Structure 1
């Protein structure tokens, strides 16, 4: 597939109207062609208006038709996995094999959402039949289903350039819900974004759908993002990135004449608590596993286990030594962008200024934007006194917290803000203490892990990738997993409708064969 650098607005390739850029290879510092087009407010308006034109027809596609479209995207992604991974590696410094794995994960998400669409449970079809003879007053017929919100604006993420970018879970879940997508490509991987965008664009054409179902735009600075959030036809926004970026979009969306939801995934340190019996039994094993996963992908993951907490006692020195050993052996590697690298250095200095003591250092960087593996240690009193020590450091650093007793562990746990995940390592003698810690964690995260780590995360029906602020802007929803579709739906009740005017999901004959809640009971007939 030959890259053109154009914007993809509906079925049209649109050249630059507001300048161009080239991709950067962060491993070499070289710029990579072609010239990638920037657009502005006019291109945003065209893309969102096309999406709005597509909405009525696309949101009313039958489950089988929409599911087939999602599966077509999955097939096309896998067909270009080699080319996609090669280009993504040039633009990110990540290994080709890892990026091919991302392509398979991206395709798997589309296929799983196709299953969700075919099952139709996301519609939550509910029927309360008329009861004309009910006393003292008759009951009229009420039928409810979920409907799509409308055009969705998606900001592509930087850290997973395939599985959480153009062809990521936000796009898959929005399309599954019946929402056309206008995607702002991340400028860190423009060629990768174009390849994925063209896969989806061609799938729209081949499925016979309205061209406005998908568009890809790109721009410099904040102007294009602001135009997307401000557009009066946009109905929702998704974002993955920093707390500052996510909250800027959130506040802007709330200041519109008609505020719209912003589903922002922002910041998390994913604390890992090691309780005393587990520490004594498996301190070295836990420390090594934590260190290995904290430094994976140069620590550039929203689910990176960043802070390790344990009460000083039997096994603590083994835990500490294992973490230090992992750090010493993990070579510095290129970070995704110069900006991410510079932010990493600033945040490391912030930790040091807040009193963290460096206890282990990895091999020296070789290239300009290499991230060096580092481990720091603090005591519980420092974490309680310095909020900066509880903030995310996006990159290959670890913070070990030495606690005096379990009461301090509970106190520190209460000091954390919202998280995407939290982990407990426990043995049977720890169960009573874990039961005390559990409600503290439930109030602060959407996912609690026992005797494993915050990564890897399965993309499944039970997956929750969300949590209270500042992990996300709305803790009621997830951005990963099959229930991510819920972000883009709203309920509508149809009262006293003739059967022929009802949506097919609510008609008496149940033509789609859905499981429905009929008068409070699940039924399929």
Structure 2
């Protein structure tokens, strides 16, 4: 059975991108975090960058933007209650720092920003594996390229991962794509995962625990496989076959005939 479960959808911000367009990245990232009150299953809940003055400045930019975001209404009281519990877990952790956001009170969700020690991710601590469903994200600052890879190895399965970079970044950090292929169902370059197109190429699934079965997707044409069970009709006369299988192809659908796609009658 295919079911979506939990995903924190990491965003990796690479050095040359920060040098080139930190302001734009900060604005676009915050817009993705708070979109729909953070209630997208592809909401970016984790942001990873390499320690540098540029990443420190970027963190401050995002904190300022998050601090200025208005509270929003969530789907229902239960969702808001779960959001509050998730925030409490982050606030109570000794190696997680609260960077921005109003105190969570009342009937609306307050956007929040946290920063966690990289060791929590590298060691697979559950506090950074559990999605906080709402307008919140957690920054993780790693020491260098090797620690970035170690941090990504520490991730459980995810629906998405995003790489924000320039061409020079993609050359320098070429190991990220093959690493993330093992961790996620959709890898984005210079985009944000809250946009999900319904198309043949879309994969909205991922390794456990993002979904219960990494072979499926819940968005796109392949999602139909969640609801189908194959049946073989052997030695059936044409008259007894379903219309989709009749030689004349009365439905005019595309079928595989000896491995080749065709709409023709047989």
- Tell me the TM-score normalized by structure 2: 0.91
Seen in structure 2, the aligned counterparts of structure 1 residues 486 and 275 have a Cα distance that, compared at 3 Å, is: same
- Give the counterpart of 2:228 among 485, 489, 492: 489
Residue number in structure 2 paired with 1:402: 141
Cα shift readout 1:114-164 (whole Å, capped 9, x = no counterpart): xxxxxxxxxxxxxxxxxxxxxxxxxxxxxxxxxxxxxxxxxxxxxxxxxxx
- How many residue pairs get aligned? The number is 262
Residue number in structure 2 paired with 1:420: 159
Cα shift readout 1:471-520 (whole Å, capped 9, x = no counterpart): 11111111122221111112222222212112222222222223322223
Residue number in structure 1 paired with 2:249: 510
Q: 2:9 & 2:50 partners in 1: Cα distance?
A: 18
Contact 1:420 1:445 (C-alpha < 8 Å) held by counterparts: yes
- Give the counterpart of 2:82 among 343, 366, 380: 343
Q: Residue 264 of structure 1 aligns to a residue in which SS? A: coil
Residue number in structure 2 paired with 1:376: 114
Point out 4+ residue stretches in structure 1 off by more than 3 angstroms.
none
Q: 2:234 & 2:209 partners in 1: Cα distance?
A: 40
Residue number in structure 2 paired with 1:439: 178
Q: 1:434 & 1:512 partners in 2: Cα distance?
A: 50
Contact 1:337 1:369 (C-alpha < 8 Å) held by counterparts: no
1:269-280 equivalences under 5 Å are: 269-280=8-19
Q: Aligned-pair distance for 1:523?
A: 2.9
Residue number in structure 2 paired with 1:360: 100
Residue number in structure 1 paired with 2:33: 294
Q: Aligned-pair distance for 1:299?
A: 1.6
Seen in structure 2, the aligned counterparts of structure 1 residues 445 and 381 have a Cα distance that, compared at 3 Å, is: same
Seen in structure 2, the aligned counterparts of structure 1 residues 395 and 520 have a Cα distance that, compared at 3 Å, is: closer
Contact 2:122 2:153 (C-alpha < 8 Å) held by counterparts: no
Q: Aligned-pair distance for 1:314?
A: 5.0
Residue number in structure 2 paired with 1:306: 45
Q: Aligned-pair distance for 1:425?
A: 0.7
Instruction: Point out where structure 2 has 5 or more consecutive residues left out of the alignment.
Output: none
Aligned-residue RMSD, C-alpha: 1.8
Q: 2:69 & 2:63 partners in 1: Cα distance?
A: 10
- Tell me the TM-score normalized by structure 1: 0.48
Instruction: Point out where structure 1 has 5 or more consecutive residues left out of the alignment.
Output: 1-261
- Give the counterpart of 1:392 among 106, 118, 131: 131
Residue number in structure 2 paired with 1:327: 66
Q: Aligned-pair distance for 1:360?
A: 1.4
Q: Which has the larger radius of gyration?
A: 1
Cα shift readout 1:17-54 (whole Å, capped 9, x = no counterpart): xxxxxxxxxxxxxxxxxxxxxxxxxxxxxxxxxxxxxx
Seen in structure 2, the aligned counterparts of structure 1 residues 523 and 285 have a Cα distance that, compared at 3 Å, is: same
